[in-house]
Amino acid sequence: MDVEDDEPMERPQVRGTNRATPAHDKYARPEPTLHWMRKPTTWEGEAVELKRIGGMATPLKVALESCGIQQLFPIQVAMWTVSLGGNEEQHDLCINAATGSGKTLAYAIPVCQILLKRKVPRLRALVVLPTKDLALQVYTVFADLSSKLGLKVAVVAGSEHDSKHADNRSFQLTYHSQTDILVATPGRLVGLLKRFPGFTLEHLRFLVVDESDRLLRQAYQDWLPKTLRSMKGGHRPDDNHAKQDPTVLTPRPVKIVLSATLTRDPAKLGKLELHNPRYITLASTSQRYKLPTQLKEFKIVCAAQEKLLTLVKLLHTLQNVGPTIVFTASVDTTHELYLLLTAMVGLPVSVVEYSSYQTQAQRTKALLDFRSGQAQVIVASDAMTRGMDVQGAAVVVNYDTPVYAKTYVHRAGRTARAGASGSVYTILREEEVRHFKSMLRKADNNYVNNYKLSPECDKGLAERIALAEERVRIFTQRASVGQSKQAVSLELADLNTGALTVAKRQLASNLAMAQDKRAKSVK
């Protein structure tokens, strides 16, 4: 657990509409301990057309255009300027930018630009991410570019047989001549370092640590010290020789560290052994947690027993707004909520699930259905919040209230991406309101508005929810004893008419008994 987020900070509400915490606010977060974080390189402005970017190699510009990229977002312009702006002194880079701001391309572009100069293919760039899904996503970005530039990219993530272009033959003593860019999860990276003597990181030009707060918070088989040791394993040319010959890669690899919630903990950052680091942000404010400026935020307060009813009413209200992601606090809740929404009669949207109950193939299909519009709602656990690019999501719903500010930021960052607008709705039980406000203040956030649902949404919903709960109960009882939830098929539509009739009769009986009980209590 991240010690920075163990307890939300209690302090009076700061009024105003600006995302930045006012400088005179006595409750503002103290300045970072590290001196280089106290003077960030800030970058403000709009996207810049690709043709106006100076110094970019023509093949790279053509490759970007062929991928449909006509302009660079501010974080990409900032990275390009700082990393390739002609600075003689080499810097490691720490980037704190909102989720969905284009961080992957921000480092992919300068990496490809530098590697275009390489004479001999060797492993020059290593990108480390915490999960397989993220690694595959970043691999796709690099693969689209590298295929047009003559660079070779590989990914090692998840189980060994899942990895692309990274079989055993690639990791013989000559492995370094096979791949220019490697995208990896920590566990698979450690496996390569341990199993293949010929696998080396001594020629690295770039080490990218994406979603750094998570990678630094967990040990992942001591991946970081093992990686740094391997990077120091070979002889490197001295600085003067590297400057005289531009085809010789610089002696010290550049470390690029990225997150929407970049840690300020000196102990954690110290593990990276950063050299002359620069801290890059997209706004000249003290705000630590970065949210898109196009994001609209709302909260809905309800009684505990009306939480599911509130969600269903909200989904009815938002049915024409656009693709919606519903976040829960656990895998079990994700699965149960998905079952209930699928069993709902008359729900105007199609629902899919994204959780660890599913296989990788099932999760991939769920994302494809959501992206293609076949499903309008995806119910997800927090594993999805870390960098997953759900294209075109218009709405995020927090069905379970996030405990930590970081979780809220990563959930909210699934919408309002790449300059688009989006909304996030948080459903709060009455007893959760105080904690939620405290958490927002910790994130320097005082602009979440109340949202009131139309009472017209109530018609018949309570009865339909009760019927859905009964359908799920009947279906769950039919599952074979000992069968895992992952193996249970969700063919709720196959429930026979007899079972539904029994369920309806039971529901009617329960409602009648409840009404009779209330009538007697009134007398």
Same domain for 481 and 370? yes
Same domain for 478 and 390? yes
**Inside any domain, residue 518:** no
Same domain for 268 and 359? no
What total number of domains does the chain contain?
2
pLDDT of 284 > 70? The answer is: no
**Inside any domain, residue 60:** yes
Same domain for 300 and 274? no
129-156 confidence digits (pLDDT tens) = 998 888 998 999 999 999 999 999 999 9
Domain end (from 251, 281, 311): 281
- 179, 123 in Cβ contact below 8 A? yes
**Inside any domain, residue 255:** yes
Residue reference for tokens 């970072």:
32
Same domain for 469 and 412? yes
Same domain for 345 and 226? no
Q: 146-160 in b/e burial notation, b at 16+ Cβ within 10 A?
A: bebbebbbbbbbbee
Stronger pLDDT, 177 or 60, i.e. the higher one? 60
Q: Which domain holds residue 78?
A: 3-12+33-281
**Inside any domain, residue 290:** no
Same domain for 221 and 122? yes
Residue reference for tokens 């919606």:
324
238-264 confidence digits (pLDDT tens) = 444 444 444 444 458 999 999 988 888
Domain end (from 281, 306, 341): 281
**Inside any domain, residue 433:** yes
CATH code of the domain covering residue 38: 3.40.50.300
Same domain for 262 and 330? no
Same domain for 232 and 361? no
The confidence score (pLDDT) of residue 29 equals 52
364-383 confidence digits (pLDDT tens) = 899 889 989 999 999 998 76
| Of the listed ranges 124-128, 239-243, 340-344, 347-351, the one predicted with least confidence | 239-243
pLDDT band at 167 (very low <50, low <70, confident <90, very high): very low
Has this prediction a pTM greater than 0.85? no
Same domain for 308 and 233? no
Question: Which backbone phi and psi does 307 adopt, to 5 degrees?
Answer: -65, -50
Q: Which of helix, strand or coil describes residue 95?
A: strand
Same domain for 195 and 328? no
Q: Residue count of the chain, please give it.
A: 523
90-118 confidence digits (pLDDT tens) = 789 999 887 778 899 999 999 999 999 88
Same domain for 345 and 220? no
83-94 confidence digits (pLDDT tens) = 875 444 578 999
**Inside any domain, residue 238:** yes
**Inside any domain, residue 472:** yes
**Inside any domain, residue 517:** no
pLDDT of 235 > 50? The answer is: no
Question: Which backbone phi and psi does 519 adopt, to 5 degrees?
Answer: -65, -40
Strands of 254-398, DSSP E: 254-259, 278-281, 295-302, 324-327, 351-354, 377-380, 395-398
pLDDT of 200 > 60? The answer is: yes
